[in-house]
Structure 1
Amino acid sequence: MAAERDHASLAERVEELLATDGPLPIVAAGDPVLRRGTEPFDGQLGPALLARFVEALRRTMHAAPGVGLAAPQVGVALRIAVMEDPAPVPEEVRIARGRVPLPFRVLVNPSYEPVGTGRAAFFEGCLSVPGWQAVVARHAAVRLRAQDEHGRPVDEVVTGWPARIVQHETDHLDGILYLDRAELRSLSSNRAMAERWTQPTPREAAAQLGFDLPGRDT
């Protein structure tokens, strides 16, 4: 009975969020929902409600704009995230960062593990920490296990920038923000990023701001 009540409560929360048109409000750092972790999805939302919620996450991600969004970022503690990256970047940035177009996809109950020892360090930001970016070293390749929104299994190796997005969004589901993994001396405002750190890699930022670049492939 307790599980049924919990399921009903989550469904009601999602219904409330979807009651208004337009993008969902994004929760900012400091809200406990971003730190509590999430519960695995096991049917708390019926198929129709899940589809509506996924579409709302997609609209919200596009409007922000961002390349990924996890359910806790809209106040829902379920292990669900969405990703999509058209990767509209110059060729030198694409090559340096491994940033290739990533079609829209839904990750349900995702987990990842590193493949190999390669790491890549680049600036990244977060919709829940608006206005700032910092250098984060992440696994260059990960094995992603999940289900899609239809319950079909996902088991694949992801590399480059898509691997970074997978790690960032899965971390959200574990109550981890990118700042927990960041080189804090690299923390830069969006204005500083636009004026100073537009290079394909953060080498110059590391030299000027006084931090060591972790990992390899930077």
Structure 2
Amino acid sequence: MSILKIARMGHPVLRAVADRVEDPHDPEIQRLIVDMKETMKDAGGVGLAAPQVFVSKAIMVYFVPSLRKSDDPDDGEVPVSVLINPEIEPIGDEIVDGWEGCLSIPGLQGVVPRWNKIRYRGLNEKGDEVERIAGGFHARVVQHEYDHLIGVMYPERIEDMTLLGFNEELREYPPETTLRQAAASDDVVAHPDEP
């Protein structure tokens, strides 16, 4: 097992569309998956895509910690999981704003609109087909990591750039609301979560 170096925003590997994995059983792919899990854990993230470790392959690892549980039955705790050659599709048309950070953009967070519910499919590390419905934070994590596989970074999805900032500044001066929340209700955004 190795802790891999994480690419930072601006590196070309993060702007490229990742190549499909032809053989999930390839020893190099299996070693990469083990190293990605270890790197994600070491970095304190909830997701990591292969391009973030300088490998342009369609592989992501992720998990949803128990503290992120919600009332949505499709948004519970998820153990560390692997998704190879993923495809995602939205379920319904509800889009929700949420704070996101990224291991490739250390120290920053922003409010990103995402589909609230998605269906995703792909292969696990054993090469078995996986299909699942995800909601809430689970859906957000999968969409964020999927974006890395198509060369998109979360700041490109931000609609209101006043809701992008350094973690320390956002803790001291939290934005009061997102545009979507202001249009929908009088709710106020809480302090952003740590990445």
Give the TM-score, by structure 1 length. Answer: 0.76
Task: Tell me if 1:205 matches 2:176.
Answer: yes
- Partner of 2:17, secondary structure, is coil
Alignment of 1:143-162 (within 5 A): 143-162=119-138
**5+ residue gaps in structure 1?**
1-20, 198-203
- Inter-partner Cα distance in structure 2 for 1:122 and 1:139: 11
What residue in structure 2 maps to residue 3 of structure 1? none
- Inter-partner Cα distance in structure 2 for 1:205 and 1:60: 34
**5+ residue gaps in structure 2?**
188-195
Task: Tell me if 1:171 matches 2:147.
Answer: yes
How far the C-alpha of 1:85 sits from its partner, in A, is 2.5
How far the C-alpha of 1:23 sits from its partner, in A, is 1.3
Rg larger in structure? 1
How far the C-alpha of 1:119 sits from its partner, in A, is 1.3
How far the C-alpha of 1:86 sits from its partner, in A, is 1.7
- Inter-partner Cα distance in structure 2 for 1:112 and 1:168: 11
Q: Which amino acid aligns with 1:32?
A: P
Give the TM-score, by structure 2 length. Answer: 0.84
What residue in structure 1 maps to residue 53 of structure 2? 74
- Partner of 2:67, secondary structure, is coil
- Inter-partner Cα distance in structure 2 for 1:111 and 1:193: 33
Identity %: 35
User: Alignment partner for residue 188 of structure 1, among 158, 161, 165?
Assistant: 165
Runs of 4+ in structure 1 over 4 Å off: 214-218
Task: Tell me if 1:139 matches 2:115.
Answer: yes
Q: How many residues align?
A: 183
- Partner of 1:116, secondary structure, is coil
Alignment of 1:51-66 (within 5 A): 51-66=30-45
Label 1:48 to 1:179 Cα distance change in 2 as closer, same or farther (>3 A): same
Give RMSD over aligned pairs. 2.4
What residue in structure 2 maps to residue 125 of structure 1? 101
